[in-house]
Amino acid sequence: MLLPWRNRSIHPETLGLFYGFLGVFSFSLTLPATRVAVTGLDPLFVGLGRGVVAGTLAAVVLGLTRQPWPNLRQWRSLAVVALGVVLGFPLLSAWAMQQLPAAHGAVVLGLLPLATAVAGVMRTGERPSRLFWLASVVGSATVVGFALSAGAEGLYGADLVLLGAVIAAAFGYAEGGKLAQSLGGWQVICWALVLAAPIEAIPTIMVAGNQSLMAAPMAWLGFLYLCLVSQLVGFFAWYHGLAMGGVARVSQMQLLQPFLTIGFSALLLKETITLGTMAAASLVILSVAISRKAKIRRY
């Protein structure tokens, strides 16, 4: 239901990679938007408030489409998804990005595809081949090395917080991809948002009452992007892709995210793309292509 057409001749893994790319494309502005939002808004408000807004919209969508309630087993999986991608990652990343330069976000988040593949092995029974792991490690190392060369000098305590965000997201992605096979991709994120919204609402209201919400329009624009795209619409394609193509394989599309962000910067902000950026992006694309061909067994 994500596209007005469906070609049954296309292999499910290929479609899964396509939807995964759409999700990564949507997420590529998440960290910059978070960085902009926390310049004028409290990180707790940004990290939890985005879930409250998205959860409210998700409840409306579920109600209008009259979706059946998940069963007890599905609610347990939804709790993992909610803890990972609705509560854990947004809150931890918002706090960390208030303390760190943007390049540090790219360093730690460069580990997210590899972490998601590991979580997929633990939660979905996938068994990638050695070639897959080699391609994933090379791709992750390229992203981290590129970010370090771009100015992420040294490590800070807040990097550990961002690493916690990566672990939370990895398990939220893997669990959501597994659940999407039975519940549906967009239904997974909508129900997870609804489940987490009551928990997020109270601290969000308290922060809003104690802090001034007078922020620049750009800060609010960043927050709006996080609510509508990063926390909601982007997940429609992402979980659908994980369910169709497999968690480990589709997770490697995240390696492209830093370079998509750079591309947006060049397009919107007229920033220059260097030869080093092009070389790193080419190596990452090659590693994604290799992981696409590598064997992955499912149990």
The pLDDT of residue 163 is 84
What is the chain's length? 299
| Phi, psi (degrees; rounded to nearest 5) at 5 | -135, 160
pLDDT per position as a tens digit, 17-31: 999 999 999 988 877
Helix residue ranges per DSSP H, 125-184: 130-149, 157-183
Q: What is the pTM of this model?
A: 0.82
Hey, how many other C-beta atoms are within 10 angstroms of the C-beta on 36? 23
pLDDT per position as a tens digit, 126-139: 888 899 889 888 88
Average pLDDT over residues 75-101: 84
Residue 272 has pLDDT above 80, yes or no: no
Q: What does the domain layout of the chain look like in residue ranges?
A: 12-298
| Phi, psi (degrees; rounded to nearest 5) at 157 | -60, -35
